[in-house]
Structure 1
């Protein structure tokens, strides 16, 4: 990976950009000997963004699958409850057998 400081970028921006495009390798921009930015080819940047989006979608899908599996597991552990509709109907109609 090639590195240039800010002064070199100012003086040779066109050459450095051309180098990034032709080599398809990122160029590190240094400020006070520390990396502060990268210059990369536009297509490489777009591919990285698309891969990041796909990874994020995949992660969300996996989380959703895990959540559904946990819900299914909890449902299996629950005891079946009787249907309360007949009891409610009887209470509403005033049937005194359940009082």
Structure 2
């Protein structure tokens, strides 16, 4: 089962059916961060690195070359939630 973050710009076809937006703790779109180690996430060592999973999946499919594809910056305004949250503090009005 794969979960969808409804980001509005799906890349599952390029990542072996594994969504880096949902599976990566940092939602990194273009490969693993510098902190992953031995296939584990630096944020939670009990969690598999999403990009290690993507690599293994693409390798099984014989599609490792697709890892060279660079994904453009996402337009988060298309996402289900309309992009990054903005918090306005009423006690600090400009």
TM-score (norm 1): 0.23
Q: Which has the larger radius of gyration?
A: 1
Bigger relative CO (Cα 8 Å, ≥ 6 apart) = 2
Structure whose residues are more often strand by fraction: 1
Structure (1 or 2) with the greater helix fraction: 1
